[in-house]
Amino acid sequence: MKDAKVFLIAVLVLVVSGIPLMASEYRADEVIVKFKNRQAQAASAMTLSEERPISIAVDDADRAIAELKSNPDIEYVEPNYVIEAETVPADWPYIGQWADMELESAWNFIDDRGPGEQVIVAVIDSGVDLAHPDLQGALIPGYDFANRDASPEDDAGHGTKVCGILGALGNNGTGIAGVAWDVNMVIMPLKFMKNNDGKTTGNLSDAIDAIYYAVDHGATVINASWGFTSYSRALEDAITYAKDHGVLFIASAGNAGQDNDVSDHYPSNYTLDNIIAVAALDSDGELALFSNYGTNSVDIAAPGVGITTTTLNGAYVSWASGTSFATPFVAGIAAMVLSQSPTLEYASVRNIILNTAVKNAAVPEDLRVASGGCVNAYDALMAEEAYDPSSQATPTPGGSDTAEAPSSGGGGGGGCLIDVTRTTGNYTCFIVFMIMIVLFQINRKKDLG
């Protein structure tokens, strides 16, 4: 009996110490609900063209979730998590050259072949500086889900940095060049995060709405430079909707320096095959110290330390760092491939990008991502020809009949870990209470005994 008591006390200690006091913050006045059928949804006075999850206002989220779970008309109900952009400090101490992604050779390849068919990349973020001179002509109309209007003006800066890395104009005599500057690519800015007292935050429900909007309005690539630690069925449903419509979803792996095979990070950890999860490299081609990794859950790496890119008020920033800004490198290369072979399915584009990852010979250790290497633009374009028999051109790197490479710093990725915290005190107290009851019963039997 004494051994049993000691064992239970040990379990109690482990349980209490193993459960974080804070996990994912969520709104107290809203929940996300998915109805089982259209009739039930119509009865709620909130109809949609598809049976999608919706956010509804409530007086108390915890109580509403408990009550709605027993409703036979509801498929699931979950908190409306708060998502916060958390970039790595701009003065991250790395200098030097980026790992060679052969971007210049890829630009030469595009120059020989032409800009190709139009590709729409949706950047679901904090919006964009709509008047930035280095993004003029690269943007198409988007939407602001944070303020519910048609002007996704960036008041935080994070989205503008992502857009610059992806598609800032090249060879225009100013600023920088984005990864896909010479591709027939346009950016659809979809805002769900905004500046809230110095923090860049947004609601999960708005991010979900933005995904559906992107798919319904023609995007073939979605850039999601954000993430959080709580599983959401509604978010997974939205990315599944993108998958079912042939849309590639590029997600940042996160900036906690953690192994995502062990610790969850979403949306990068969903196992859907239209997702590419991106880690960040430093200028030596090594995994950045802040970057999340995972040989099963993180797919590929891209530059993500000390990036020069666009920012608010028509300006530029020189030291944006994080997996957030590594992600648009991959999204831009996906746009390159799709511009040349628009009939390729998302799975083929994903395979091309992962199978052409290049390991840095100077870094013998494993990068701890599934592909084991850094994204390579030129090799991806060359592999695209094997997937698409209609491709004809076979330019060689550094050939004489090539385009002039833009004089700028396109480059890696500003980091944004979307770290959400939800109080789990009720769950912890329940476990402690149950264990205390067991201990009480043991002691009672001993006393009677």
Which is the catalytic residue, given 158, 230, 232, 379? 158
Q: Could you confirm whether 324 is annotated as catalytic?
A: yes
- Look at the alpha carbons of 191, 197, 203, 204 in this order and tell me if their dihedral is positive or negative: positive
Which of 324, 341, 371, 408 is the catalytic position? 324
24, 55, 125, 419: the catalytic one is 125
CA dist., res. 198 & res. 85, Å (int): 11
Q: Do residues 370 and 295 touch, judged by C-beta distance below 8 A?
A: yes
372 and 387 Cβ atoms separated by less than 8 Å:
no
- Residues with a catalytic annotation lie at 125, 158, 324
